[in-house]
Each structure stands twice: as structure tokens, then as C-alpha cells.
Structure 1
Amino acid sequence: MLRQNQRFLTQLYMLADLLCTLLVFLTAYWIKFESDWLTHVKSIPFSTYLVWGTVYSFSAVLVGFYVQFYSPKRRKNFSYDVLKIIQIQTVSFLGLLSLLYFTNESDVSRQFLLIFFCMNIVAVSAYRYGVKLILSHFRRKGFNKRFVLIIGAGSLGRGFYQNLQQHPDLGYEVAGFLDDYQREHAPDYSHMKPIIGTIDDLQMMLDKGPIDEVIMALPLDAHGKYAQIIDICERSGVKTLIIPDYFDLLPARPYFDNFAGIPLINVRDVPLDELGNRLLKRSFDLLFSLLAIILTSPVMLFIVLGIKLTSPGPVLFKQERMGLDRKSFYMYKFRSMHVSASRVSDTQWTVENDPRRTVFGSFLRRTSLDELPQFFNVLFGQMSVVGPRPERPYFVHQFKEDIPKYMIKHQIRPGITGWAQANGLRGDTSIKERIMHDIFYIENWTFIFDLKIIVKTIVKGLMNKNAY
């Protein structure tokens, strides 16, 4: 029933968003002007606030419709909804402020508007999350199903089927497989839905049963059949999705890009390739590193004195490291070892009970205080607060031959700390595991993820048994 009335559900969502926003308006008005929680002076009547609250509510719905917030999102994560809600509410709020400016409504409480805006994001997100939980519950029970037909019973089709079974909350059910070369599955895959015909039976299957989507999981040599299959599906009003035969060969989750008007498959989705994300991360790096330098300046002064009093030589130790786009730079640390030739420090690992360390240097390395000068590397633009740890060129050239995907880490700025280090992977630990964590970070970067890593590093990562 629900599956056949998506337009009705869309209208219901729009009405629910509108009512939710108006209810939040009344709550925000009560908090600001009727409760004793805040000081208030009403210079304009309630009716004026109601007019602007209604304008805001309708504009939020219109913006949501424009950005396709009300399109089916069965396969989307809830984080997608939250980002859309923040985007919609922000655009609507800025539009409201612009209207207030041009209509000279200077008496409208800015504090009320801020409460209204923040509560809207929380309230709409909360009720949308509740709806998502309810729908997931009913889909697990067998309601609101969408039926899919898989064309191709090879490894691609079987892999898709098995992955789909791990997400019953999505409400998808496989009607069966179509394949020209097999009549039944091998014994190891007998638990799967049966092969119910060949590709020539597609039209009959679409006419016979409630098929909502057709999944094409065909090998490359079946490319000539794509046009016929898509044509049959579109004539029947059935959505068609294609799993590329080379999907298993791609080293990461690919996404479609566009270059000179031609769609391309981008092998690796790097969020920091987007200008807005890079500006956000760089702005945070500058602010955080300046604040860190100011707050730790007494500690750094103590370290300078400690180094000078306990061993001869310079206070700072600089070492060549490979960073963004495989370009080398000098990374700075407080010196924790006796002075030695650069060919030794550049080509040898630090080991437990390393005789090169000074007594005071051992303390610095155990507490990670020797890393503090790297905040200046961040200011210079050579490093980021969070990112893959940079390595010496000597070892980079070794690792890139022995460890697949090692060089991917150089697609973003290296960091003082990273996802690997926050999980204890530093010092004498697996390089392969570190790279796996680095690639996960590169492909899943968000500003919140950076904050999580910083907090986790402070809580768990400063004192580390592997930090020699």
C-alpha cells in the first residue's frame, strides 16, 4: 500500500515538516516571551511573529522540495537526512533574515530567531529519526516491501544478494534471478532465491509480478544486452540499476564524476578534494594550532630548558618527511636523542630502549610532548592537526613497493595525529594496519570525525607504550 502511494507520503512529509516547524515556533515564542527563563521585552505583537514564523515554515518546505529532501530515501543513511535538514534550515533562516532586513523589521527579537532556528534543526531531526525507526521496524516485519529482480546469477549478482540480506531494515526482497547460462545455483548457493528464467523472460516477469527495481549484474561481454534490458524496464516503468562488472577490481568505493560533460567513474571519493571542505579544515588547523601554541608555550619553555640542561646540542630536531602530493618538507620536533649524523636518523627506526635517547628525551617521547613544534608545521601549511602521519622518504620508497595503497596517504596533508594513532597504531605496530586506518580516514573525512580523533588522542593516545 505504502509502496504504491509515494506521492501521498511525500505530501504527508511536507505537511508534517510544516506542522513541526510551526509547533517549534510556538515553543520558541513561549520560551522567549512567556517563560521566566529569559529576559524579554515584547515590542511587537504575537501576530507579527506568527506571520514571520509562517513565512519561515513555508520557505523551509519549499527549499526542502527544491533540494529533493522529499524524494524516496530508503537507501540513504540518517546522517544524509541530518545534513539536508541543516542545509534547508540554514538557507531558510538566512532568507528570513534578508526579508526582515529589507522590510525594516528591526524589532523582531534576534534571540527568539536563534532559538527558533536551533530548535527547528533538533525537532525536525528528532521526528525524522523516529519515523525512520518506525519504518525500519515495519520493513523488518515484512511491510512496505520493494521487490527486486537480479539479472545475472554470477559472482556480482550473488554478492549483491548476500549484501542485501544483511540489511532487512531497507525492506527489499529479491524475487529471483534471470541468467542465460545457469538454470540453478551451485550447491554452495542453494539458500539463495532461485533462477526463474533467462533474460528473454524479463518482460514476462515484469508483467507477472510486482517488480519495483531490476538490478543488472552482468559481465562485460554482455554489454550488448544492456540497451534491450533498459528499454524493457523503462517501458514497464521499472527502475534499472547497473552493477559494473569491474566493481571488484576498484580499490575503493567509486562515485560518478563529470569532466567536460562526460560522466566518469572516480576510483576514490576524497571529501577533502572539495574546496569547501579544504577551507573548513584549513581554517580549523590555523585556529587550533595558534591556540595550542599559546596554551602550551609555558610547557614548551620548560622543555627548552630541560633539553639544554640535560644534553648538548640544538633544542629542535628537524627531519625530512614526505607530505601532500609526495612533496618533501622538514618536520620539527623537540630533540629527544643525542646528536647523530642525518644518514643514521633518516634510515633507522627508533626501538625500545634505544641507546640514542636522552633521559629527558625518553620522557618527551613517552608523553608525545616532543611533537609540540609540529603545530608550527601546521601554521606553515605543511601539515594538518589531523591526518596520516608523514614518513621519511627513505622508508616511503620501501613501503610503496611492499604495501599496496601506501601512497594514497599523500593525497591529503599529513597530520600531527590521525585515526591510526588514535587507535594506538604508532611506534612498533603494523604498517599495513596503519594504512588501512589512514585510507578509511581519507575516504570518510568529516569535520566531526576530526574532532573525534582529537578527543580520542587526548584521552587515550598521549601516553603510549609503543612510543619509543
Structure 2
Amino acid sequence: MVQTGSTTGRTSGGPDKQGDDRVAKPAVPAPRPAPEGNAEPPTERILIEGTSKSTVVLPYIPSASAAKTRPLRAWMLALPVDLAALLAPIAWSQQYWKATVAVALLTVGAFAVGGLYRARRHMSVLDELPSIYFRFLAATAAVAIVVAARHESFNYIDGFLRLAAVSAVLLLPARAFSRIAVLMARRRRWVEHSAIIVGGGPIAIELARLLRRYPQYGLRFAGFVDVPSTAHIGRESSPLVGHIEQLQQLVRYTECDVVIIADIDCPEDRLLRAVRAPGMENTDLWMVPRLREFPGTVGSPDHIGAIPVVPLRRANLSGPKWAVKRTSDVIFASVALFLLSPILLVCAVGTFFEGGKGIIFRQQRIGRYGEPFSLMKFRSMRPVDDTESQTNWNIGHDPRVGPFGKFMRRTSLDELPQLWNILRGDMTVVGPRPERPYFVDRFSVDYPEYAMRHRVPVGLTGLAQVSGLRGDTPISDRARFDNYYIENWSLWLDVKVVLRTVSEVFRGGGR
């Protein structure tokens, strides 16, 4: 383990006056100002515990240009330039403007889906050329079919195709211009993003050397992050900015936009806890594949020098993604409340006749980022007290649950009042099911992956539930399914979960 301390061997968290021999966890240092004039920057000595080896590392100094260009993204230049090239033929003829606009929008959408607006380390128009024209021709063919169906005149179709050919000619220099502009800005360090490397082996050291030497990759190397398998004892493996457990804090400290995982040999759950932390969700995550000699077949290849790097998909339900999900939630909940109002009335009447007043049962649950909220359900039984309702697990077979309550629980009709929780913003339609604070605390200790479920809003239904993990089922399995859903979210995945939920309700697959 690496500790920061003096050259005498005592760590910063060494024994106190009472003789306590515990070593304090090293804290993330505050950024230091740049040295004035020719003065040498202050240094720290990194001591390897249990050995006499140490190395001097320089403190991290945030980059002014990286701070200024943090909001910039790859699509901000490429997308408007592509649109200008695709729409330019309208200047020659306005007769076909509708078809030309349709081709432009379809092409830009195909480019976005194909990853042509993602940030790349190695930029080459020739590498992108096949994908660019394949997607452009596919969009043109789709619009041409519609044009041919609406206009039987051969002259009209011929005129549209001629303008499409002009767009095809302009598309290549437009894409070349945007790429050259970005490369020039990178080489002159007008545009750069801070990057830290997790690991310190030969590949990680080579990556750091490449980033320092070649600014065209657009990354300013900010330092290494230590893992147990790495010995940062040489100058080539410095600066060391912190440890894997501090990754979330280190991202803030170094003003980091990119994290590259390389040469790392640590338990998977430890790495997952670090990269799944809430503070990491707006950071690009790249990984050097273990089998570097065998190229992958999925996605567009990228590399730094001759070292392949693979962008990892991040779970980031914010920005446009969250706007889409939230809009669909409001529409779904509003329509469902209207259409299901007769069923809600039947459930309310049945609950009243079976158990008297208090048809709505409110219970505290934990939502996104660990925030508590009041969840609503139709009451299927009366708990003895509030402590029982908060700490008793799975009451489906409790003798106090009446016939109507069992029916509602089996068909999940008791969950319908949560549509109001969705409208209020406490929940979403599809997401990890909410749990009570008592069990969240217990499960988070026993299962490290469980706490990561709270990166997104909790849901009325979830992938784990429609996969048979309801009631008294393994918590570890539920956590794995929930995290899989978070990391592979799409609107279509939500639709699939909702359809499977409806199927489960009609089959009576509730608890």
C-alpha cells in the first residue's frame, strides 16, 4: 500500500501521542498554485509501506486551458459542419428542400447512432469514410423511396438525386475540415481535457508518455491512480495523485474529464465501486482491453499510439436522456391513472370493506442518491406498529393478509397508487424497486453492489422483478439485474420491462 509521508518513513497518519499505531487513510491534497518565476514546485515523497523505497512526485497543477474547454464536446463542431454540407444544395434549388432536409436529418441521426460524433483519440477521416458514406447512402435511399412514391415524374426524382450527389461531394471536405480544426486546436493545446490513468504497469506508463508527448490526442495527463498491484517507485510512474478508493474525489481534484483503466489487477468489485460512484457519472471512461492483440468486433476501433482503447458505456440518466425518460414517465403515469381509474376505485372499495378506513398505506423508502420519500400503496394488512412495517421482511404469507389483500398482492394491484409517486417525481416507471431504510443499510453492507442501485430513480417495476426476482429471492441477484439495467438503459428496454410486467400481472406472478 502506498502512503504519503516524510522521508523518515513516518506516514501523515502516524502514531499519535497516546501510541495509537493505526495508519490514517491518506486524504486527497488540495490543488497547489503554480510556482512563480523559475522557482521549483514543492515536492512530496511517496513511501512504499514495508520497504525502504520511495520516489519524489510533483504536485498536480490544474490546466487553465483544460478548465476552459471542459464543456466542449466532439459533436459541437462536427455536427453543424455536417449539417451545413448536407443542406448546402438548397442554395442551388429550393424545389427539393423538403427531401434535402429529410436526408440531412436522417444522415445526422445515423451518424450519431454510429458513434461518428463521439470523442476519439485517434482522428482520421479515412478511417471514418466507409461508415460516413454507407449511412449517407442509406438515408438517401430511404428518402428516395418516399419521393418516388409521391412523385411519379422521373424528372423530379432525377433532380433530387442530383442534389443528393452534391451533398455527397461536400460531405467529405466538411468532415475533413472539422477533423483538421480539432487536431490543430489540440496540437496548440487550445482544446484539451484532463485525464488520469488507473494503474502503473508498463502499458499505463507508455500511455502516460504518449499523452505527454503527443497533444493531438487532446488529453492532458494529470497523474496515476494507485492500485494494490502497482508499485509506484520510479519517476516514470509518477505523479501519483491518489488511490483507487479515492477515485471520485480525485476526479474533482484534478478536474478530470477522462479516466483510462490500464494494467490493473485488483478485485472487480473494488474497481466497480470506484467507477460506479455518483461523482463519476459525467466522466468518460476508457479501458485498455486485456487481450490487446485480438481486436474487438463491436464498435469503431480507437487507439492511443498503438495501444487500443475502448470507451465504456456509462450509466448517465441526466441531460437529454433524463428529459426523455421523465417525459415518458409523466405521459405513461397520466394515461395509466385515467385508464385504470375504475380498477383503482374497485381496489379502494375492496380495501375499505376488508379492513376499514385508511385504504392508502404510506411507507418511507429510499430513492435516488439515498434520499427518502413517502411511497403509497393500497393497504393489504395493518402492521402492529411503525417499527414492524419498517423492519419486517416479506409479509405475503402473513395470516393477517385477507383474501382481497392477497389478490391485490398477487396481481400487483396494490402498487397502483405509486403512479402518483411517479407524477410527483419520487419514482420512475422502470427502475430498481425502492426499499426501506432499514434494509438498504443492511443490504449495502452485505452486498457492495446494492448501494449502486441508487444512481438512478427507483421504479414502479424493474428488470429484476420481471426476471422472477420478487419476494424472498437473493438480494445479490437483484442488485446484479438492477445494475445491468442502469448500465444498459434505453427507452426500448423500458418498453420491454413494462410489457413483461403486464404479462406478469395477467399471469398472477406477484408475491
TM-score by length of 1: 0.54
Indicate which of 241, 244, 249 corresponds to 2:263: 244
Counterpart CA distance in 2 for 1:246 and 1:374 is 44
Deviation of the 1:310 alpha carbon: 2.5
Q: Deviations over 1:86-125 (max 9, x none)?
A: xxxxxxxxxxxxxxxxxxxxxxxxxxxxxxxxxxxxxxxx
Which aligned pairs between 1:66-465 and structure 2 lie closer than 5 A? 219-221=230-232, 224=235, 243-245=262-264, 248=267, 249-251=270-272, 254=275, 270-338=314-382, 340-460=384-504, 463=507, 465=509
Q: Residue 226 and residue 361 in structure 1: after superposition, are their counterparts in 2 closer, same or farther (change >3 A)?
A: same
SS of the residue aligned with 1:271? Answer: coil
Q: Is the 8 A contact 2:390 2:436 kept in 1?
A: yes
**What CA deviation, in whole Å up to 9, does each residue of 1:177-201 have, x standing for no partner?**
xxxxxxxxxxxxxxxxxxxxxxxxx
Q: Distance in 2 between matches of 1:402 and 1:274?
A: 29
Q: Specify whether residues 418 and 60 from structure 1 end up closer, same or farther in structure 2 by C-alpha distance, changes over 3 A only.
A: farther
2:150 & 2:472 partners in 1: Cα distance?
A: 57
Equivalent residues of 1:421, 1:461 under 8 A apart: no
Query: How many Å separate the matches in 2 of 1:344 and 1:12?
Result: 63
Unaligned runs of 5+ in 1: 1-5, 35-41, 69-150, 158-217, 228-240
The one-letter code matched in structure 2 to 1:322 is I
Distance 1:444 1:274 in 2: 14
Stretches of structure 2 that go unaligned for 5 or more consecutive residues are: 1-123, 180-199, 205-228, 239-259, 288-311
Q: Does 1:32 align with 2:53?
A: no
The alpha-carbon deviation at position 54 of structure 1 amounts to: 3.6
Describe the shift of the 1:24–1:415 C-alpha distance in structure 2 as closer, same or farther (beyond 3 A). closer
Aligned partner letter, 2:380? S
1:462 deviates by 5.8
1:50 aligned residue (158, 161, 165): 161
- 1:190 matched residue in structure 2: none
Letter in 1 for 2:429: V
Partners in 2 of 1:30 and 1:56 — Cα distance?
19
Tell me, yes or no, if the aligned pair for 1:313 and 1:339 is still in contact at 8 Å.
no
Percent identical pairs in the alignment equals 31
CA contact (8 A) 1:424 1:461 kept: no
Distance 2:177 2:125 in 1: 16
**Which residue identity does 1:285 align to in structure 2?**
D
Worse-superposed segment, 340-349 or 454-463: 454-463
CA distance in 2, matches of 1:430, 1:453: 20
- Tell me if the contact between 1:271 and 1:443 (Cα under 8 Å) persists in the aligned partners: yes
Cα 1:464–1:226 shift into 2, 3 Å: farther
| Equivalences, count | 297
